Structure 1
Amino acid sequence: MTTSQTQSETVPIVARDRAALIASPKVKLRRRRILIDHPDPQAGERLLAEALGAVDRDALHGLLSQLAKASAVARRPDQGNLAYMISMLKSIAPKDSLAAQMVCVHVATMRCACRLACTDDVPQQESLTRALTRLARTYAAQMEALSRHRSNGACAITVRNLSVQDGGKAVVGNFTQHASLIAAQPGLADAAAVTA
């Protein structure tokens, strides 16, 4: 799958943080090398590492190498696909490099969907349908995992209606639940004689 751009630069459709979009350098493929297009090479690496969630230079170049391999069309890395994958990764605004796998699964899902749409062979359609289903489920699970990772596993539960029978006890206040532990906000006392 290749994408073609009519302009030499990618223009953002929605400018959330204009300074970040301008500052983030582009990546170019040159004969088995990945070049970061920026006037200052060290600053370019730093800006791209921040945009992609890479912790250091080795992580950045490893991530770029893997994305380039995943962008391949006819066994050769594709500049357009690589630019698309990097742009998708930037839009996720990762704090670490976990989102790169999501981008690769998304690209594989779209390639599989394209192949499915272009085949008339029934056995191949069945195989592609199974692969497409697995990829879509994997992507959904990755989205859920990313959401949990970003929220540190916290799950908010709000009780809107509370009924306490005669002689019952209730604790009034805000609570946070983590895994198997429930903790009340400090300074709250339980109401021993709360009646309905």
Structure 2
Amino acid sequence: MAVVPMRKKGRTAESTEVAKPYEPTAQEVTAKAAYIKRREARTPAPGMKVVSTRKGEVLDVSISVDHPDPGLGYELMSAAIASECGDFTRGTLETLSMAAQKGDTVHEVSMNYALSMVYGMHPKDQLEATLGVQMAAVHIAAMKAAACLGAAKTTQAMEAHERMFNRLSRTFAAQIEALKRYRSKGEQRVYVERVNVEKGGQAIVGNVGHRGGGQDESGR
């Protein structure tokens, strides 16, 4: 069904009046400048190009680096995911293609979205990159479960998709905590936000020991 806009009163079909260009607000200009600055500071990292060709009953899916110089693009991608060898880069791309698979083909937008999530984590080594791939896969699966939940027609289907969505969401939260622990290398820090000292008192920073029996330093 086509939607035909209503003609405004006082204007004819032959009117050639040019609409005034939109003038962005100060907040919009600031937000745009901040986005451009963030984008330019980011390490160059190309996306992926997916081409599907059907030959009879066989669907041939070709995945390649979307860069004018494929060799350079592959190296930039490897650097962005902290890869130490070509095998890890190829394996990472293959697993991401599995997460972005729809039916018998790979969805290019979903794959580049998953890859951008890994890039955005700024992995420091291959383990962090691997966790990033898992997080991207879990997130995509959670969104698929959410879509199924919204489209469910029966109570039984709603409950099944809700359980799946909750499990995936909890898994994603656990992955975030695992990444935080790994990056902190198990270090524990204690932060003191505020210390109140009453009049006549004294603030002590460090270990405080107490003698048994309430004795003072003189033994009394």
TM-score calculated relative to the size of structure 2: 0.63
Q: What are the ranges of 5 or more consecutive residues in structure 2 without an aligned counterpart?
A: 1-33, 52-59, 198-203, 208-216
Change (3 A) 1:39 1:19: farther
Does residue 18 (structure 1) correspond to residue 40 (structure 2)? The answer is yes
Q: What are the ranges of 5 or more consecutive residues in structure 1 without an aligned counterpart?
A: 1-12, 164-169, 174-192
Return the match for 1:157 from 190, 196, 216. 190
Length, aligned pairs only: 155
| Aligned residue runs from structure 1 range 69-108, under 5 A | 69-95=98-124, 96=126, 97=129, 98-108=131-141
**Shift of residue 17 of structure 1?**
4.9
Structure number with larger C-alpha Rg? 2
Instruction: In structure 2, give the amino acid aligned to 1:32.
Output: V
4+ residue runs over 6 A deviation = none
SS of the aligned residue for 2:76 comes to: helix
Cα RMSD (Å) of the superposition?
2.4
SS of the aligned residue for 1:34 comes to: strand
Equivalent residue, structure 1, for 2:30: none
SS of the aligned residue for 1:54 comes to: coil
| Aligned residue runs from structure 1 range 42-53, under 5 A | 42-53=71-82
| Aligned residue runs from structure 1 range 39-188, under 5 A | 39-95=68-124, 96=126, 97=129, 98-159=131-192, 161=195, 172=206
Determine if contact 2:45/2:76 at 8 Å carries over to the other structure: yes
Q: Work out the percentage of aligned pairs sharing the same amino acid.
A: 33
Superposed CA deviations along residues 98-128 of structure 1, whole A, max 9, x for unmatched, are: 2110011011111101110111211111111
Distance 1:89 1:14 in 2: 19
